């Protein structure tokens, strides 16, 4: 039998093979024979699948049924978007009634993307699906999400204001912008560094990678010009960075195995000692820090999610004190992200909270219409133009969130829901009527008849 050699492979090799298969393949193999059933029901196989989806396996108890968790995500996992709607940035139809821009609405129907990672840029949203395809909404397409076909299989993305960086399985780093797609590691700015870096960040006004024993490489647009190399030292040693964020004019990083925070100002001093922000130190038991940042804001989240230190462009000196908001402490925060002027936090219980500024009721906070609302937590700065929510408010919805993203004036999240509002372009749940080319009045009638 052709299957005999496969059955004679050791358990660890079979489990490794299983990690490259999708859930349908695994379910079919499980039904094939008793031995495959024993192998591919193994929780290690399903845990690896869960880890492909950003945030799905984070903070989950070890005794959880990973197979059930993964299959539930496959069936009921959705991407939700909200915020600034111009250029179809949200990747879905927006109306003022059933499908507003200032509340989370799922991408379903013809717009659905089974995303494993989401990133929000200044002018659109980037969705990486389980097949390694990168979908983009917003300014580049001025339509609903489209696939960036040139990239091949992508396994990691990071978005900034103007560009998204995408790493493909061939070790190539791509720059995806509003007007172009460019491979940076083939006859371009990063050709000499292909395969030498794993951390990359797209920022407000430039893009970057970190190359061990070399330093930070930054470039403005990804054209043929050479990147600027920032070689950073601690004492006599070049830093070994574990994580970093790139903001407007500066970057913040942590080093391997230590819960220390350093800042580098991108002011033309290309060889400099790392500037430690000493008041950002955290005990090893609560570390290491998880960094997040965008534009002028950065934040440090402790490993247990109970301590949050924030900073901005003014947090420069070594003795600078962190911004400590009491409402962020001891909240069991799973993730914290930032747009230009708004912030989202995801708690361990799957709830999402937001605070910060909305401009012209763009809806980036996801709290509904904020016109004429005022109180202890909401400040109307300029009536009809700008509203600021001073403390985190819970985003109302009917799902359990696993991952969040923010950028510019948009927000997005991945979540699991038993019931989601269907897409505006596919409104009917009727089985006895088929409309091939529905007119505008008919569609309006169908939407007005909704009861959900």
- pLDDT for residue 403: 97
- pLDDT for residue 436: 37
269 Cβ contact list (under 8 Å, min separation 6): none
From 19, 40, 68, the end of a domain falls on: 68
Global confidence as pTM: 0.86
From 41, 68, 95, the end of a domain falls on: 68
CA distance 165 to 209: 10
- pLDDT for residue 129: 93
Q: Are residues 230 and 179 in the same domain?
A: yes
- pLDDT for residue 347: 96
Query: What are the per-10-residue average pLDDT scores of the chain (452 residues)?
Result: 61 71 72 70 79 87 83 92 92 78 88 91 93 89 78 94 92 88 90 92 93 91 73 85 94 88 88 90 83 95 94 94 95 96 96 93 89 65 78 89 96 91 43 36 39 39
In a domain, 435, yes or no: yes
Beta strands in 84-136 (DSSP E): 105-106, 115-120, 125-129, 134-136
Please check whether residue 354 is in contact with residue 392, taking contact to mean a CB–CB distance below 8 angstroms.
yes
- pLDDT for residue 170: 84
Q: Are residues 154 and 132 in the same domain?
A: yes
Q: Please provide the distance, in angstroms rounded to a whole number, between the alpha carbons at the two ends of the chain.
A: 54
From 27, 51, 68, the end of a domain falls on: 68
**Sheet architecture: strand order including 386-394:** 333-338, 342-347, 352-359, 386-394, 378-382
In a domain, 449, yes or no: no
- pLDDT for residue 141: 67
**Hunting for tokens 């929000």 — which residue is that?**
120
Q: Are residues 120 and 235 in the same domain?
A: yes
- pLDDT for residue 373: 63
**Hunting for tokens 């009921």 — which residue is that?**
76
Longest dimension (CA), the chain: 76
- pLDDT for residue 440: 40
Q: Are residues 267 and 339 in the same domain?
A: yes
Query: What CATH number is given to the structural domain containing 310?
Result: 2.130.10.30
DSSP string, 266-284: -SS--EEE-EE-GGG---T
Q: Are residues 208 and 108 in the same domain?
A: yes
Which domain covers residue 213, as residue numbers?
70-442
Instruction: Choose among 187, 147, 192, 154: nearest CA to 170.
Output: 154
Q: Are residues 42 and 142 in the same domain?
A: no
In a domain, 85, yes or no: yes
The number of folded domains in the chain is: 2
In a domain, 448, yes or no: no
Please check whether residue 337 is in contact with residue 291, taking contact to mean a CB–CB distance below 8 angstroms.
no
In a domain, 57, yes or no: yes
- Tens of pLDDT, residue by residue over 142-178, are 667 788 988 989 999 999 999 999 999 888 999 998 7
In a domain, 401, yes or no: yes
Q: Are residues 315 and 326 in the same domain?
A: yes
DSSP letter for 50, please: H
In a domain, 111, yes or no: yes
In a domain, 38, yes or no: yes
Q: Are residues 113 and 86 in the same domain?
A: yes
Q: Are residues 210 and 297 in the same domain?
A: yes
Cα dihedral: 170, 175, 181, 182 (round 10): -70
- Tens of pLDDT, residue by residue over 50-98, are 888 999 988 777 778 888 898 899 899 999 999 999 888 998 878 766 7
Q: Are residues 48 and 173 in the same domain?
A: no
Please check whether residue 171 is in contact with residue 198, taking contact to mean a CB–CB distance below 8 angstroms.
no
Q: Are residues 52 and 134 in the same domain?
A: no
DSSP letter for 232, please: E
Q: Are residues 219 and 91 in the same domain?
A: yes
């Amino acid at each position: 039998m052709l299957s005999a050699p496969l059955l004679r492979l050791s358990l660890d090799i079979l489990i490794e093979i299983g990690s490259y298969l999708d859930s349908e393949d695994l379910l079919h193999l499980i039904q094939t024979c008793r031995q495959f059933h024993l192998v591919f029901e193994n929780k290690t196989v399903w845990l690896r699948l869960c880890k492909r989806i950003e945030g799905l396996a984070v903070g989950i108890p070890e005794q959880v049924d990973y197979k059930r968790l993964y299959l539930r995500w496959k069936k009921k996992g959705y991407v939700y978007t909200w915020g600034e709607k111009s250029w179809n940035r949200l990747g879905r139809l927006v109306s003022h009634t059933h499908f507003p821009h200032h509340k989370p609405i799922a991408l379903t129907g013809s717009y659905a993307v089974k995303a494993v990672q989401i990133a929000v840029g200044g002018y659109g949203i980037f969705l990486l699906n389980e097949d390694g395809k990168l979908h983009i909404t917003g300014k580049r397409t001025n339509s609903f999400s489209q696939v960036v076909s040139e990239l091949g299989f992508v396994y990691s993305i990071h978005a900034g204001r103007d560009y998204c960086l995408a790493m493909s399985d061939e070790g190539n780093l791509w720059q995806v912008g509003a007007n172009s797609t460019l491979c940076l590691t083939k006859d371009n700015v990063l050709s000499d560094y292909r395969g030498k870096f794993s951390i990359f960040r797209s920022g407000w006004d430039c893009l970057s990678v970190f190359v061990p024993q070399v330093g930070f490489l930054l470039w403005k647009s990804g054209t043929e010009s050479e990147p600027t190399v920032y070689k950073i030292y601690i004492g006599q040693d070049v830093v070994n960075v574990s994580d970093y964020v790139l903001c407007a004019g500066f970057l913040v990083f942590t080093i391997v195995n230590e819960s220390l925070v350093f800042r580098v100002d991108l002011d033309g001093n290309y060889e400099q000692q790392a500037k430690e922000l000493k008041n950002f130190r955290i005990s090893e038991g609560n570390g290491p820090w998880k960094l997040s940042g965008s534009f002028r804001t950065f934040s440090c989240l402790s490993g247990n999610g109970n301590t949050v230190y924030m900073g901005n462009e003014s947090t420069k000196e070594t003795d600078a004190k962190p911004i400590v908001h009491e409402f962020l402490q001891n909240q069991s925060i799973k993730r914290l992200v930032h747009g230009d002027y708004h912030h989202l936090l995801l708690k361990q219980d799957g709830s999402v909270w937001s605070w910060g500024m909305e401009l012209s009721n763009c809806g980036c906070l996801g709290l509904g219409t904020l016109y004429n609302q005022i109180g202890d937590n909401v400040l109307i700065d300029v009536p009809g133009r700008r509203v600021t929510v001073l403390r985190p408010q819970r985003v109302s919805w009917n799902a359990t969130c696993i991952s969040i993203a923010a950028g510019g004036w948009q927000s997005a999240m991945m979540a699991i829901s038993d019931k989601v509002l269907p897409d505006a372009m596919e409104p009917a749940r009727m089985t006895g009527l088929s409309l091939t080319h529905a007119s505008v009045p008919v569609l309006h009638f169908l939407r007005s008849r909704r009861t959900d």
